[in-house]
Chains A and B, each alone.
Chain A
Amino acid sequence: MKEQEESEPKTSPRELELADFVENAVVSLHWIGVDGKIIWANQAELDLLGYTREEYIGHNIAEFHVDHDVIEEMLRRLTSGENLSNYEARLRCKDGSIKQVLISSNGLFEDEQFIHTRCFTIDITHRKQAEDRINLLYLLTAALSEALTPEQVAKVIVEQAIAMSGASAGSIVLLTPDKTQLEILISINYAKQLTDEWHRFSVDSPAPLAESVRTEQPVWLRNREEFGARIPLTDERPLKINQAWAAIPLIVEKRCIGALGLSFLTDQIFDDDERAFIVALAQQCAQALERARLSEDARDLAVSEERKHLARDLHDSVSQSLFSIHVLAQTVPRLWEKDSQQAQEQLKQLATIAQAAMSEMRTLLLELRPSSLVKASLQDLVTQLITVAQAQQAVTISCHIELEQALPEDVHVTLYRIIQESLNNLVKHSQATQGSITLIQEGDHLTLRIRDNGCGFNLTEESAGLGLGIMRERAATIGAAFEVVSKVGLGTEIFVIWPLPL
């Protein structure tokens, strides 16, 4: 016995230890032969992928790689003597799932002949997923910053949620203002018939989305059984479209505004990581939707303010001129019978008022298109204002503008506004018969001077309501000095002095 034992190759305790070490190590190990077949794999590797020893060993390694070009390249490099360190690859498990792995390997050579590889495989599926998800949340934040409307926000979120979670379809529903119904804001990859049917549904409906809104808690339905147990099914609603469901309430400042829903074609596990990710996505979604809604409200408010302003301007100007034209035109035939000379004068006056009304209209259109205001010359703009003023008041206004260089936009617009306001005052309050506007360059500054020979006013008492404060503020924004000289009975003079840039 003893001799027999001695004649056989002896396995030393050291070798046994080593065999145990590789066989039972927690790191996955395998060898691949020259023909690409797996010669040996340890238990950790079999556990990682879920195969039995028979299902794995003796098979070509390429059968288990998702990307054939990757394994071909790895084998080419290993057989040519290269060492591979942390080479990324994707392996297919027995249950069909895919593992992201890092493979480090080198070849065993004998007499320059390749014998087999020595491969160490590390599973990085979770790490990779976490990384991808963090990247996605960053990308999402960037995409959301460009999404302006609730619809744009919803589209970005649902598309990304589908891409990252592996869902087959997704939707976002929002609570109606009375909080009794849910309305689809966006739905991606669902059949039209289904979205039409569920376009608007009660919060009390037997549906995952409705339940998540009612309870303000996520609803995770991992398979048909869980779905069927929770949601009563009818024959008209076969479950062929999805196997699993996730419905997450969208909550903003403790207020539920709707829900994000995802449908899956295969059973899902919804592990802690996945749940946390989908909930984080829903939170981002809720906040982005709220932001978009607030900015929409602000835009609506701005538009409504602008309309009010325009309505007031129309009321103050064009509609009054048109009324005047309307009355004067009706009086002409009767006046003609009484005094044809005067009637002819009135017709001339009508033409002047009509021209002024057109100038008023043009001035209003300029307010609607500020870019035109910037492009028009100050000379043209001021002439237009003078036409309107002269039609409204028996006043003659001269204008002298001499500019040696184009003005910066803000200066151009500010000077226009100050002239506009001054002429408004002249017509409404001054009773002037003469006026003048000069804008000239004097040395290192530009001087705007607006004069009239009207009633003037007491600067300390009566200047309220003349908009002098606003004119002064306007002048200050371009760094110009503003001065008003006026006395009761002695007319008014306004100076704006703008220092030319050096």
Chain B
Amino acid sequence: MQERLIRVLIVDDHPLVRLGLTALLEVCDDLELAGEAKNGKEAVELAEQLQPDVILMDLIMPIMDGVTATRIIRQKLPHIQVVVLTSSIDFELIQKAQDAGAYSYMFKNVTIDMLANTIRAAVLL
């Protein structure tokens, strides 16, 4: 019997990043795209609506940033894991995201294997 696919919500304001991450999910048989959000506010709404397993969360975004969205999602929907994926080198910001309840963080130079494995590890929690 095939295991259930891991459903991933992609949150990033940059369309090309969403495009790349979507392509990544497509080549991983156990991962599935649940939806895409352009900012933290959309992420909170879609998390509730789509109930993904894991959220790939950017930090610096318009309207609502990733740290705020992570905090709200982890409070409201503690069963959803948040993995931060950022190009920021602001370690204070990354610490804030972890304090807000993010499972892990990765920089935007990560290999796709590492990224996929981190998503898989997050759901085992």
Whether B112 and A330, one on each chain, are in contact in the complex, defined by CB atoms closer than 8 angstroms, is yes
Partner pick for B16 among A334, A392, A465, CB 8 A cutoff: A392
Does chain B have a CB within 8 A of A407? no
Whether A323 and B27, one on each chain, are in contact in the complex, defined by CB atoms closer than 8 angstroms, is no
0/1 string, A19-51, CB within 8 A of B gives 1: 000000000000000000000000000000000
Residues A324-359 near B (CB distance < 8 A): 324-328, 330-331, 334-335, 338, 346, 349, 353, 356
Whether B87 and A315, one on each chain, are in contact in the complex, defined by CB atoms closer than 8 angstroms, is yes
Does chain A have a CB within 8 A of B63? yes
Does chain A have a CB within 8 A of B49? no
Whether B27 and A428, one on each chain, are in contact in the complex, defined by CB atoms closer than 8 angstroms, is no
0/1 string, B52-75, CB within 8 A of A gives 1: 000000001011000000000000
Minimum CB–CB distance for B102 against chain A, Å: 19
Query: What number of A residues sit within 8 Å (CB to CB) of B?
Result: 26
Inter-chain residue pair count (beta carbon < 8 A): 66
A327-B21 contact given A315-B60, A319-B87, A392-B15, CB 8 Å threshold: yes
Neighbouring A residues of B111 by C-beta, 8 Å: 330
Neighbouring A residues of B60 by C-beta, 8 Å: 315
Interface centre among B12, B16, B88, B115 (most CB of A within 10 A): B16
A378 to B108, CA, bound (A): 34
Whether B23 and A346, one on each chain, are in contact in the complex, defined by CB atoms closer than 8 angstroms, is yes
Minimum CB–CB distance for A66 against chain B, Å: 71
0/1 string, B86-125, CB within 8 A of A gives 1: 0110000000000000000000110110010000000000
Neighbouring B residues of A334 by C-beta, 8 Å: 27
Chain B: interface residue count, which band? Answer: 20 to 34
A316 to B88, CA, bound (A): 10
Whether B109 and A331, one on each chain, are in contact in the complex, defined by CB atoms closer than 8 angstroms, is no
Does chain B have a CB within 8 A of A393? yes
A338 to B15, CA, bound (A): 25
Neighbouring B residues of A327 by C-beta, 8 Å: 20-21, 23-24, 112, 115
A331 to B112, CA, bound (A): 8
Whether A427 and B15, one on each chain, are in contact in the complex, defined by CB atoms closer than 8 angstroms, is yes
Whether A335 and B15, one on each chain, are in contact in the complex, defined by CB atoms closer than 8 angstroms, is no
Whether A324 and B27, one on each chain, are in contact in the complex, defined by CB atoms closer than 8 angstroms, is no
Neighbouring A residues of B17 by C-beta, 8 Å: 320, 323-324
Does chain B have a CB within 8 A of A210? no
A492 to B24, CA, bound (A): 33
**In chain A, what residue has the closest Cβ to B21?**
A327
Whether B14 and A320, one on each chain, are in contact in the complex, defined by CB atoms closer than 8 angstroms, is yes
Interface centre among B13, B60, B108, B109 (most CB of A within 10 A): B108
Question: Chain A residues in contact with chain B, CB under 8 A?
Answer: 315-316, 319-321, 323-328, 330-331, 334-335, 338, 346, 349, 353, 356, 391-393, 427-428, 465
5 contacts between A and B (CB under 8 A): A319-B108, A323-B108, A330-B24, A428-B13, A465-B63
Question: Chain B residues in contact with chain A, CB under 8 A?
Answer: 12-17, 19-21, 23-24, 26-27, 38, 60, 62-63, 87-88, 108-109, 111-112, 115
Which 9 residue pairs are nearest across A and B when measured between Cβ atoms? A327-B20, A324-B20, A324-B16, A320-B14, A323-B108, A334-B27, A330-B112, A392-B15, A331-B27
